[in-house]
Amino acid sequence: MARRSSLVGLMCVFLAAGSPARAGKDWPSFHNGGDTSVELQNLPLEWSPHEGIAWSLELPGYGQSAPVVWQNQVFITAVAGDNKERNFVLSFDGRTGRCLWRQEFPATVRMKNSYMVSRAAPTPLVNATGVYAMFESGDLHALSHEGQPFWQRTFFDGAERAFQNGHGYGASPAQTETSVVLLIDHRGPSCLMALSKQTGELVWKTERSSRASWTSPHVMQVGGSTQVIVSSNGTVDGYDAETGRQLWSHEGLSGNLIPSATIHGDRVYVGASIGQRDSNAVAAAVSNCCLQITPRQAPGYRLLWQADKAVCDYASPLAHRDHVYYLNKVGVLYCLNAATGQQRYVKRIGTPCWAQPIAAGERLYFFGKNGVTKVIGAGRISSNSRPTVSGAATLRRCRSGPMAMNPRMNPTRVHRTRAGNTSIRLCTEWLPSREHSTSGWERICSALKARSAGSPFETCARSRRSITHRRLEAARSMCG
């Protein structure tokens, strides 16, 4: 069974060079509480399975959760067994990788271990007094930093309280100073609730309409108030963190099933997917938007802007300084002005990303599904340039071994149609390498600009299946 040693190894690259933990700043929850932008400098640009890694280790079973950090102590979860009957919470020394403790718990609800359903998907959270880990079995465990269990609560039973969602439970918990906040959105009775960190007792519970979603809540400090922000399948909602009372709701969205909201200052950036086969393209485009939270002005928020073309699929928007970045499932990056939503550039970074990107000072880190991390410069670039992408930084993915994009081939092939018109074939499995990127992109862009919407390029795409319409539109976006 595949293991997640690469993810922990990746985190230790940052620990070795001045991560939030090493710099005295913690990373306590999923997406760092909704904002993965930090002002750290000189983080690594290159590493491989054999160099640049502070430490690396294998974990039991399988896990999709992210590590969290508190004062150089790393916490992570995993599940194991043919029916995911074992849940794990583990802790490591962030400087050495030494395992500090390991706790194993039986899963209340068991289901077949499959890549189609969540496997330790919820990321745990940690604070000064303990660590809190939620599993798709419906079990929430509270432990001390030394691994001593405090309390446990179970929310699913596989029968009357069965979780009704096609791919399992995936929402990570959020936290206030005194409470753990859980979102349970599915086709059955849905709710948002807060539990006491000390006892696990219910503090409040707010019913929600049934919906399928895999997003997570975040807690936001704004205007002297604390709100819980939830972006989930059709709406973005704000709740009073102390009472659970719904304060406002932005409705009419589509596609916000996977990307969670991003919190940055008094703004909420919403990500939404176009769906399979681009079935939701039009509705999702305007659902990728920015809200400014206004606690003292009705209705409690302002819609600042809606995106024109930018969409998210798996990763949430990345807000950093004056820009916000949206990344779709094929690796096309949209950079927008954070205040106005005006598009700054659209570029293909060369790898699809499911994990959340991170901004650190002058750099943006994109963690590719193929094991390659792409690093580009933050901020606006000129219309005639491409993002600066780091070369061949690979991460070990257990059975697959080191993987990297192969730029040996020229990205274009020119051929003739029967009518004698020139058309272009994009080989999207390759990107231009540094030595021929300019000429490669010039050939693509000049060919696209020379033809209109009903060109032989599109006819060729439909009849000869040389390129999908989506890739064509992505190429046109890259060329401006």
CATH number at residue 396: 2.40.10
- The predicted pLDDT at position 278 comes to 58
Is residue 249 included in any domain, yes or no?
Answer: yes
Q: What confidence tier does 329 reach under pLDDT thresholds 50, 70, 90?
A: confident
Collapse the DSSP code of 477 into the 3-class scheme (helix H, G, I; strand E, B; otherwise coil) and give the result. helix
Same domain, 102 and 203: no
Kindly tell me if the per-residue pLDDT of 267 is higher than 90. yes
Q: Is the pLDDT of residue 401 over 70?
A: no
The confidence score (pLDDT) of residue 98 equals: 94
pLDDT given for residue 442 in this prediction = 53
Q: Are residues 191 and 256 in the same domain?
A: yes
Higher confidence at residue 15 or residue 49? Answer: 49
Least confident window among 16-25, 307-316, 339-348: 16-25
Which of 120, 145, 172 is at the close of a domain?
Answer: 172
Per DSSP, helices labelled H in 280-369 are 281-287
What mean pLDDT do residues 216-221 have?
A: 97
What's the chain's length in residues?
Answer: 480
Same-domain check for residues 34 and 128: yes
From 39-43, 71-75, 146-150, the region with the lowest mean pLDDT: 39-43
Cα of 118 vs its chain's centroid, Å: 15
Spatial strand order in the sheet of 343-348:
318-320, 323-327, 332-337, 343-348
pLDDT score recorded for residue 461? 38
Q: Identify the domain boundary among 405, 440, 468.
A: 405
Asked if residue 385 and residue 358 are part of one domain, the reply reads: yes
**Are residues 45 and 28 in contact, defined by beta-carbon separation less than 8 angstroms?**
no
Domain extent at residue 66 = 1-160+168-172
Q: Where is pLDDT greater, at 41 or 393?
A: 41
- For the chain, give the percent of residues with pLDDT over 70: 72
Of residues 472 and 260, more confidence is placed in 260
How confident is the model over 145-152, as a mean pLDDT? 97
| Residues 441, 292 share a domain | no
Q: Is the pLDDT of residue 216 over 70?
A: yes
pLDDT tens track for 85-126: 999 999 999 999 999 999 999 999 888 787 778 889 999 999
Residues 223 and 278 in one domain: yes
Lowest mean pLDDT across 185-194, 371-380, 389-398: 389-398
Quote the number of domains for the chain.
4
**pLDDT, position 285:** 76
Residue 447 has pLDDT above 80, yes or no: no
Q: Residues 208-230: what's their mean pLDDT?
A: 94
> What SS3 class is residue 345?
strand
Q: 19 or 337: whose pLDDT is higher?
A: 337
Q: Average pLDDT in the 449-472 region? A: 42
Domain match, 301 and 430 both: no
Residue 188 sits in the same domain as residue 85: no
Contacts of 65 (CB under 8 A, 6+ apart): 76, 77, 78, 120, 121, 122, 123, 124, 172
How distant, in Å, are the alpha carbons of 79, 100, 128, 132 from that of 147? 17, 9, 14, 11
Q: What are the strands of the beta sheet with 37-38, ordered from one edge?
A: 37-38, 358-360, 363-367, 373-377
Spatial separation of the C-alpha atoms in residues 38 and 321, rounded to whole Å? 10
Q: Which of 293, 239, 305 is nearest to 264 (CA)?
A: 293
Segment 363-373 mean pLDDT:
90
pLDDT in the model for residue 3: 37
| 146 lies in the same domain as 198 | no
> What pLDDT does residue 477 have?
53
How does DSSP classify residue 173? P
- Is 181 in the same domain as 93? no
Which CATH number fits the domain that encloses residue 6? 2.40.10.480
Please write the tens of the pLDDT for every residue from 316-327: 999 999 999 999
Average pLDDT, the chain: 78
Which pTM does this prediction carry?
0.77
pLDDT of residue 456: 39
**How confident is the model over 162-189, as a mean pLDDT?**
90
Q: Tell me, what's the pLDDT at 48? A: 82
pLDDT score for 50 = 80
Please check whether residue 61 lies inside any domain of the structure: yes
- Please determine, for residue 164, whether its predicted confidence score (pLDDT) is greater than 60: yes
Higher per-residue pLDDT: 312 or 116: 312
Looking at the predicted structure, is the pLDDT value of residue 304 above 60? yes
* 442 and 397, same domain (yes or no): no
Query: Which pLDDT does position 180 carry in this prediction?
Result: 98
Tell me whether residue 323 is in a domain.
no
Residue 314 lies in a domain: no
Per-residue pLDDT averaged across 227-247, rounded?
Answer: 97
In a domain, 419, yes or no: yes
User: Between these two residues, 145 and 405, which has the higher pLDDT value?
Assistant: 145
Query: Is the domain of 356 the same as that of 426?
Result: no
Contacts of 177 (CB under 8 A, 6+ apart): none
Last residue of a domain, one of 405, 432, 462: 405
In a domain, 380, yes or no: yes
Average pLDDT over residues 422-435: 34
Q: Is residue 321 part of a domain?
A: no
Banded pLDDT at 52 (limits 50, 70, 90): confident
pLDDT interval class at 41 (50, 70, 90): confident
Asked if residue 319 belongs to a domain, the reply is no
pLDDT of residue 381: 65
Q: What is the pLDDT of residue 266?
A: 96
Is the peptide bond preceding residue 299 cis, with omega within 30 degrees of 0?
yes
